[in-house]
Amino acid sequence: MPPIVPVSLTLIIVVTAIVYLRGWHHSSLPAWRAASFLLGLFFVWVAAASPIASFDDRMLTAHMIQHVLLMTFAPPLIWLGEPVRALLWDLPRQLGEIPARWPLARQLGGILAHPAFCWLSAAAALVAWHVPALLRLGMHSHAWHLVEHASFLVTGLLFWWPVVQPWPSVVRWPRWSMLLYLFLATLPCDVLSGLLVFSDRIAYPMYLSMPHTGLSVLEDQQCAGALMWTCVTVVFVVAGTILSVHLLSVQTPSENRSAQRDPRAIAAI
């Protein structure tokens, strides 16, 4: 990756953090939400612009660390920071009124926020970019490398939107359905990571021509699969546990319906 790319990405992340903090300072959001958002941005930086990013063409494990950070760790932390509330503070008021003025924008938002679309987009990105031909394309083309990272982050944000339900989302689906949503999301990861861990064949021969890193190519492949398997499972179990605790803490059905009718309701996770 050209040196200018990590510098540009770092500047974008820093500017985003500054704009968010300006909005957060004028809002009533608690400090833990700001910390969550900044940690999510930090994970994006680690994945795309830190020294770790320079090893992704030598080790599949480094490549997998990027994928896990961009899809599994950074997105829920970013949404927990309530970025829409904070970032809209410095934007022109007319931009915030677009959904109310343009019915097409509301319809598009409804499609993008639908759990089925969010789940399928994340699963498609995960599977597609682990196809050897596409992975090789991303390794040999700087432009496609950026597209790969962007698709992981964008689909990760889509995937976690119905789970976290940040403002201004409206809860249209029973919260218990998110437990099934998370469980089904583990299936593509389990299949892919299982193939990488238990296969005795090298899935990505392009790493054979890379400099030696202390692990054989097959060991590196198995390590990458185990990393994805473990990290994704742990994060999904934690998210499912928090959701379950939240559901069990609801005292009465009337309180639950009232919370679902509130368009500014923030998920408790």
- More confident call, 258 vs 62: 62
Q: What is the DSSP letter of 212?
A: P
Q: Name the pLDDT band for 255 (thresholds 50, 70, 90).
A: very low
Q: Which of 240, 218, 221, 239 is nearest to 229 (CA)?
A: 221
* pLDDT score of 10 more than 90: yes
Least confident of 14-23, 98-107, 153-162: 98-107
* Residue 140 confidence (pLDDT): 86
96: in domain: no
Look up the pTM and report it.
0.86
Give the per-residue pLDDT at 254.
47
- What percentage of the chain carries pLDDT values higher than 90? 62
* Cα atoms found within 13 Å of the Cα of residue 160, Cβ hemisphere only: 27
Structure tokens at 3: 């040196």
Assign 105 a pLDDT band (cuts: 50, 70, 90). low
Per the listing, tokens 């998920």 go with 267
Between 241 and 256, where is the model more confident? 241
User: CA–CA separation, 215 vs 28, rounded Å?
Assistant: 49
Q: Mean of the per-residue pLDDT values for the chain?
A: 86
- Which three-class secondary structure state does DSSP give residue 180? helix
Please give the radius of gyration of the chain, using alpha carbons only, rounded to the nearest integer. Answer: 20
- Specify which of 26-30, 187-191, 210-214, 246-250 reaches the highest per-range mean pLDDT: 187-191
pLDDT of residue 83: 94
The Cα 228–Cα 215 span in angstroms is 18
Q: Flag whether 268 is in a domain.
A: no
For residue 13, the model assigns a pLDDT of 96
**20 lies in some domain:** yes
| Nearest alpha-carbon partner for 76 in 170, 189, 164 | 164
pLDDT at 116 over 90: yes
Q: Where are the alpha helices (DSSP H) in 129-216?
A: 132-140, 142-164, 177-198
Listed in sequence order, the residues at least 6 apart from 58 whose beta carbon sits closer than 8 Å to its beta carbon are 207, 210, 211, 213
Q: Answer yes or no: is 102 within a domain.
A: no
pLDDT higher than threshold 50 for residue 261: no
- Band (pLDDT 50/70/90 cuts) for residue 104 is low
Domain total in the chain: 1
pLDDT, tens only, 39-82:
999 999 999 999 888 888 889 999 999 999 999 999 999 999 99
Residue-level pLDDT at 96: 54
Domain that includes residue 191, residue range: 4-91+115-261
Average pLDDT over residues 128-151: 92
Task: Return d(Cα 207, Cα 221) in angstroms, integer.
Answer: 10
Q: Is the pLDDT of residue 195 over 80?
A: yes
Helix 217-249 to helix 60-68 angle, to the nearest 10 degrees?
20
| Residue type at 88 in one-letter notation | L
Residue recorded with tokens 């019915």: 103
Q: Which amino acid is residue 240, in one-letter code? A: G
Backbone angles phi, psi at 265, to 5 degrees: -65, 140
What are the residues whose beta carbons fall under 8 Å from the beta carbon of 250, sequence distance 6 or more?
256, 259
Does 175 have pLDDT greater than 50? Answer: yes
* Residue 108 belongs to some domain of the structure: no
- The total of other beta-carbon atoms located within 10 Å of residue 262's CB is 10
Evaluate whether residue 98 is within a structural domain: no
What pLDDT is recorded for position 97? Answer: 55
